[in-house]
Amino acid sequence: NAWWEVDLGAVYNIDEVRLWNRTDCCTEHFANFYVLISDVPFSSMDLNTTLNQAGVDSYLVTGEAAYPTTVSTIRTGRYVRVQLAGTAYLAIAEVEIMGCTTVNLNGNNNVNFQSSESSSSDLAKELVAKVFPNPAENLITVDFKTPADGEMQVMLMDARGSRLYQKEFYASVGKHDFTIDISSYPMGSYIVFLRQGDSRKVIRFVKIK
When pLDDT is cut at 50, 70 and 90, the band that residue 125 belongs to is: low
* Among 109, 102, 120, residue whose Cα is nearest residue 143: 109
* Among 27, 44, 28, 26, residue whose Cα is nearest residue 36: 44
When pLDDT is cut at 50, 70 and 90, the band that residue 102 belongs to is: very low
Give residue 202's pLDDT.
Answer: 80
- Cα 18 to its chain centre, rounded Å, is 13
| 119: pLDDT strictly greater than 70 | no
**55-98, pLDDT tens digit by residue?**
899 999 999 998 888 898 888 899 999 999 998 899 998 888 88
Hey, what domains does the chain have and what are their CATH numbers?
Answer: 3-100 (2.60.120.260), 103-207 (2.60.40.1930)
State how far the Cα of 32 lies from the Cα of 41, in Å rounded to an integer.
Answer: 23
When pLDDT is cut at 50, 70 and 90, the band that residue 34 belongs to is: very high
Give residue 118's pLDDT.
Answer: 37
**Lowest-pLDDT range, 22-36, 48-62, 188-202?**
188-202
Give residue 103's pLDDT.
Answer: 37
What mean pLDDT do residues 111-136 have? 60
| pTM, to two decimals | 0.54
